[in-house]
Structure 1
Amino acid sequence: MITPDTKDWTWVLREPCPECGLAAGDVDPTTVGDRTRATLPTWEDVLERDDARERPDEDTWSPTEYACHVRDVFRLFAGRAALMLEQNDPLFENWDQDETAVAEHYELQDPADVAPQLVEAGNRIADVFDAVPADAWTRTARRSDGAEFTVATLAQYFIHDIEHHLHDVGA
């Protein structure tokens, strides 16, 4: 089992990530749909690599496990963004990414199956962000840990996660 990541990554909205270099807070949220779509061919390439199922060490997911996580992040954030657009200041349900990885057996998933699922989910969340009305980017939501988001900062936080994980898999 991989050691869970317990960091609060919302700091990437305030300062550039020293690992991947992205200054998420500077990303124009209206570009997140296009940026998401631009990652999809790279994720497909990652899943075609010979080492796609190999963990580089005991504490690091394989590229396929990262892709499963990204697929699920696409799905989760599509729901969260839609919720923000439908409700006033909703509270997001908790999501344990590490629990999901174990329950969904990321380590056993076939890269050839994951690729089209990831692309479908990626296009869906890109469409959600593309459809945000100009006056809705400031709508708010909260996580149970107290983190607050607008639709704009949710988009920025989201794109960091996706692009950061490409860095994690060496793409």
Structure 2
Amino acid sequence: MTTPDAAPAIEPDEKDWTWVLRERCPECGFTAADVDPEAIGGTVRDLAPRWVAALHRPGARERPDAGTWSTLEYGAHVRDVLRIFGGRLQLMLEQDDPPFDNWDQDATALADRYDLQDPTVVADELADAADETAARFDAVPDDAWERTGRRSNGSDFTVRTLGQYFLHDVVHHLHDVRG
């Protein structure tokens, strides 16, 4: 059996996007600091159908150019973002100032062959992950929004800023795919 050729690698994004917690994103227009943390769950639920629709479009597998992910690849990434951040949120609620495992999104995209996944399956998985993560944010107790956690690069988050940062990723990539 022949293994499909590897998808051409996208240049890794090595930027530290935590600046979106302080500034409006010039690409997608999202202003994380304006997000009411209690609205994160509802916003995720509102965005999920737009992702599902984008993943069902003809051409979802096609990259617009060699250096840009396809809608499918972005959708698989957002599905994983939903899962990762749902887990990080749970960790922050259960432990005091937990460190987060490092996640290399570019290595995951290649290892998990985002480019070869089924867009319909990814859409279903994204919708399920959105429901689960939204429910986790909806269940954050009022006194837990300032609990802390930290990324392996030293970036510190509260539950509030983790949610705001996470939501930017979901919104920004929806903008990328014109969803």
Pick the TM interval, shorter chain: over 0.9
1:41 aligns with 2:49: yes
Aligned equivalents of 1:143 and 1:20: distance in 2?
Answer: 24
Q: Deviations over 1:132-165 (max 9, x none)?
A: 0000000001111110000000000000000000
Q: Which residue of 2 aligns with 1:116?
A: 124
TM-score, normalising length: structure 1: 0.99
How many Å separate the matches in 1 of 2:152 and 2:56? 37
| Alignment RMSD | 0.5
Please state how far the C-alpha of 1:119 moved relative to its aligned partner. Answer: 0.3
**Counterpart in 2 of 1:71?**
79
5+ unaligned residues in a row in structure 1: which ranges?
none
Aligned residues between the structures: 171
Q: How does 1:1-171 map to 2 (within 5 A)?
A: 1-171=9-179
Residue 129 of structure 1 and its aligned partner are, at CA, apart by: 0.3
What is the CA-CA distance between 1:51 and the residue it aligns to?
1.3
CA–CA separation in structure 1 for the residues paired with 2:56 and 2:102:
32
- Kindly name which structure, 1 or 2, has the bigger radius of gyration based on alpha carbons: 2
Q: C-alpha distance in 2, partners of 1:112/1:119? A: 11
Distance 2:56 2:148 in 1: 38
Q: CA deviation at 1:26?
A: 1.2
Match of 2:3 in 1: none
Question: Residues 107-128 of structure 1, C-alpha deviation per residue, up to 9 Å, x if partnerless?
Answer: 0011111111000001000000
Same amino acid, percent of matched pairs: 61
d(CA) in 2 for partners of 1:40 and 1:145?
Answer: 29
Q: What TM-score do the two structures reach when normalised by structure 2?
A: 0.95
For 2:109 and 2:138, locate their aligned partners in 1 and report how far apart those are by CA, in whole Å.
Answer: 28
